[in-house]
A = this chain, B = another copy of it.
Amino acid sequence: MFQRYRSDLAEALRAGLAVEPPTMSQTESAGPVDVYSMLRYGMGWADVQGRLVEATTGKALRPTLCLFACEATGGDPGQAMPAAVALEYIHNFSLIHDDIQDRDETRHHRPTIWAVWGVPRAIVVGNVLRTVADVSLSELTRLGMSPGDIVELTGTLTGAYLEMIEGQFLDLSYESRGDISLDEYLDMIARKTGALIRCSLELGAYVGSRDRATVEAFRECGRALGLVFQVKDDVLGMWGDPGSTGKPVGADVRRKKNSFPVVHAMANATGPEATRLLEVYAKPEPDDDDVDAVLDVMERVGTRRFAEELAERHSKVALDALAPVELESGARLQIEGLAHFLLVRDH
């Protein structure tokens, strides 16, 4: 599925950011790096001097889901391309602002935008990308989509985007707290990560089918896949192979990140184990012993097994949601393959 759309998608994403800087003077006097060069850097296509380099891009999960859903429901994936591009830009916008909020200095082994150009510029660069996403939706008019459909798609995307930022806000509110319930955590990530993944399938299915029941089925599927994706992400953040993830074992303990395993362990540990957890999370910087202690508690309360079973259950929910929908030939195997991939991926 990822291979199928990769080159068309890469081309469309690059076209959307192949913008001349707003004034000549900017290139002349602010150095070679204008806002669009910074965005190309953020997307992994350019180095800090703005020179194009061999791309180090992510999986492009969201646009791939969008194009897949369009084709699976009988549409031309080219018609969904502007929405796919908008989804990937919005995802990358959220990474740019997330990195500022979390003070993360590297991503994909490269310095983050704020680490290179400072917080003020990084905020603006993110805002530009967020807006270029809206601009890319205007391509739909050129592709002959009706204004009514465009208003519908725009509204769906805006709603999902608002949910995503509300989730980001909740995540920040939960930061220094040790009493979050699993339900609160799952609700937060359903917003922060799930909303955009769900929206990707929704938008694709809408373009492909214009059929309310079909869109609703893909929406349910996307909701479940979003949970699978994030729970697996959290499992990798704790037990991922450092060779694959590029992060040390227990990485999320060291940075005291709110994640599913931590919330589960906090909610289930009792007595001295609970005390030890609170002790670790009260430290400014947990050390190796702390990481071992946390992993030990998680082992005893069955955190990893619980998380993996939850992900598996929701993977099945995702596929069941599509059972009543008629799909193009081969599409069902593909979405099964994707659901499996989200469960077993190692980075």
Which A residues lie at the B interface, using CB under 8 A? Answer: 22-23, 25-26, 29-30, 34-35, 97, 100-102, 119-121, 123-125, 127-128, 130-132, 134-135, 138, 141, 146-148, 150-151, 154-155, 158-159, 161-163, 165-170, 172-174, 177, 179, 181, 184, 187-188, 191
Best-buried of A22, A121, A141 by chain B (most CB within 10 Å): A22
Specify which of B100, B119, B135, B174 is in contact with A162 (CB 8 Å cutoff).
B135
> How many angstroms between the C-alpha atoms of A128 and B119 in the bound complex?
19
> How many angstroms between the C-alpha atoms of A243 and B154 in the bound complex?
46
Specify which of B125, B163, B179 is in contact with A169 (CB 8 Å cutoff).
B125
Query: Across the interface, which residues of B come within 8 angstroms of A120, CB to CB?
Result: 100-102, 172
Contact check, B151 vs A141: say whether CB atoms are below 8 A apart. Answer: yes
Tell me, rounded to whole Å, the shortest Cβ–Cβ distance linking A91 to chain B: 14
Which residue of B has the minimal Cβ distance to A135? B158
Query: Across the interface, which residues of B come within 8 angstroms of A173, CB to CB?
Result: 26, 30
Tell me, rounded to whole Å, the shortest Cβ–Cβ distance linking A193 to chain B: 14
Query: Across the interface, which residues of B come within 8 angstroms of A146, CB to CB?
Result: 147
Tell me, rounded to whole Å, the shortest Cβ–Cβ distance linking A192 to chain B: 11
Known: A23-B188, A127-B130. 11 other contacts (CB 8 A): A25-B181, A25-B187, A30-B170, A30-B173, A119-B119, A124-B165, A127-B168, A131-B161, A135-B159, A138-B151, A138-B158
Contact check, A127 vs B97: say whether CB atoms are below 8 A apart. Answer: yes
Query: Across the interface, which residues of B come within 8 angstroms of A130, CB to CB?
Result: 127, 130
> How many angstroms between the C-alpha atoms of A132 and B169 in the bound complex?
15
With A128-B162, A158-B135, A162-B132 in contact, do A169 and B35 touch (Cβ < 8 Å)? Answer: yes
Tell me, rounded to whole Å, the shortest Cβ–Cβ distance linking A152 to chain B: 8
Which residue of B has the minimal Cβ distance to A120? B101
Specify which of B128, B150, B163, B169 is in contact with A166 (CB 8 Å cutoff).
B128
Which residue of B has the minimal Cβ distance to A177? B29
Q: List 5 A-B contacts (CB under 8 A).
A: A22-B166, A121-B172, A134-B154, A138-B155, A147-B148
Which residue of B has the minimal Cβ distance to A171? B124
Contact check, A25 vs B184: say whether CB atoms are below 8 A apart. Answer: yes
Query: Across the interface, which residues of B come within 8 angstroms of A34, CB to CB?
Result: 169
> How many angstroms between the C-alpha atoms of A138 and B152 in the bound complex?
10
> How many angstroms between the C-alpha atoms of A187 and B22 in the bound complex?
10
